[in-house]
Amino acid sequence: MFWQEDIKEERFTLPNTIQDAVFNIHTNVLPIDHAYLLSKALLKHLPWLKKVNAGVFDISVADGNGWEQDHESSLYYPSKRSKLSIRIPKERLDDVTVLIGKTLVLGKYQINIIKALKSKMMSDMQIVFAKHIACDENTSEEDFLQTSFMQLQTLGIQPKKMMVGLKRKISTLNSVIHTRSLMVADLRKSESVRLQELGIGDYRLLGCGLFLPQKGIESINTV
């Protein structure tokens, strides 16, 4: 855990340069570890994702904020509320609408794209959470925090509080990417938005380094 003093509020105008394109979907079952398959399926329709500051969120089983629950089964059954979210520059929002009505083929599994919802701007909330940050398999919690701290500083962000969460794995065709979750709190509003826009680390199209706003940290269990 990394913890410093609180910060003062600031005046801030929320930018709209990076947004999350959101789609209603239908799928009966998916492997929990589907980030690579999802990225590969999307790139068939949106090859330009590799060329812009894009990120793809996995279609997560509901597990709160990702700190308390891990999954023993290799499959799960997304609910009707499950969404597909792709983080892209604002000027590309119209381009992703080609997905509407398409079926994404993830090996033996399929995701039907039903319709586009209103895109989401980044949030100025002072707590953000990333389910996956790529790291070495044997990286200690202390080293992970130190690396994350340096990556944040490179973005001009001075983190006051950070907490490390669960270890996970993302399987690709030829390798396994090891990740840990990370919460960053007490950010300035401008820092929060910058972190959501830019992320940290590699493998954004596999869902790594992508931060989402969180309402609080009181109930977080970091086992």
Helices vs. strands in the chain: H and E counts, helices first? 3, 13
pLDDT along the chain (223 residues), means of 10: 58 87 96 96 98 93 42 76 96 98 96 97 96 95 96 94 95 95 96 97 97 73 35
Read off the DSSP letter of residue 38. Answer: H
What the chain holds in terms of domains, given with CATH numbers, is 2-7+123-213 (3.30.70.1210), 18-121 (3.30.70.1890)
pLDDT of the residue at 193: 97
Q: pTM for this one?
A: 0.87
Report the C-alpha gap between 139 and 130 in whole angstroms. 17
Say how many C-beta atoms besides its own lie within 10 A of residue 191's C-beta: 24
